[in-house]
Amino acid sequence: MKNKFIWKIIGVWFLVVVVGNSLAYSANMSSEQFDKANKIYEESKFSEALRLYSEIEKTGSNWKLFYNMGNCYYKLNQPVLAKIYYLKARRLEPFESSIRKNIEIVNTRLNDKIPYPEPDFISRIILRIESIISLNILSFFLIVFVLILNAFIFLLIYKGRKRWIIYGVSFSLFIVFLIGIYHIYRVDKFSRRNIAVITRENSQLHSGPGENDTVLFKVNPGLEVKIIDQSRNWYQVSASSEIVGWIESDSIEKI
């Protein structure tokens, strides 16, 4: 029994080391590809750079990657796709000034120029915290404290109920619980893509989720909207407090 438990602990640590090394190797490969794509971009070979960036996108997301893809699309005279990738970059790094400036620049190339309302004070604080503590960092700390908790449980079993060990188990269990709850919240929030961009020409906002419902507004490609509700293949979206309606799912691109 004792040997089996020890081997389990060794197995967990081995798994963490292997996974960590694999992730580090993948990150290094992506970094080399990213540098290569950046060099090609600087040579004004935007289509080729975009192809390399798109290959990197298949293996992971990064705000600088999305930002550079937006730059490529802008240089290739595709402002709608440029805005989509700038917004993807903003989702990962909401306070980066260069992203905000480029969104403003690309908006001058688009027909609809409806300013999206700025987040309130509390929302800005939450966004600031989330921009500092990324989901990857949060996952790392969760793994670390789970391992610490396992170590204290191991000591509790083999050293007995000493006060400092019980305190260690209680504290690490409490931290794991807090980080775990916050991690679930962040994953759920990240998976809820409630911002979108109109992509189809001559798109219309209807009063309800159907072609037969009254047409309320005509909107142009590039307009940023917030998704409110969904019914089958229709989304209820808003561009401002005055512009709200239903649109088909294939007329928008979720961010």
Provide block-wise average pLDDT over 10 residues at a time, the chain (255 residues). 49 47 48 93 97 92 94 98 97 93 94 71 86 88 95 91 93 96 90 92 95 94 95 94 92 96
Domain that holds residue 115: 2-119
Q: What is the pLDDT of residue 116?
A: 63
- pLDDT for 101 equals 96
pTM of the model: 0.76
| Helices 2-42 & 63-75 angle (0-180, nearest 10) | 20
Q: Taking Cα atoms as reference points, which of 221, 196, 220 lies closest to residue 78?
A: 221
Three-state DSSP at 152 gives helix
Looking at the domain assignment, is residue 127 inside a domain?
no
Q: Pick the last residue of a domain from 166, 191, 216.
A: 191
CATH of the domain at 231: 2.30.30.40
- What is the DSSP annotation of 20-38? HHHHHHHHHHHHHHHHHHH
**The pLDDT value given to residue 180:** 96
Give the pLDDT score at 131. Answer: 82
The pLDDT score that the predictor gives to residue 117 is 67
pLDDT of residue 148: 95
Q: What angle do CA 156, 159, 162 make, to 5 degrees?
A: 70
Of 54, 57, 83, 56, the closest CA to residue 71 belongs to 83
Domain count across the chain: 3
Choose the final residue of a domain: 96, 119, 142. 119
How many angstroms separate the CA atoms of 9 and 2, rounded? Answer: 11
pLDDT at residue 175, rounded to an integer:
97
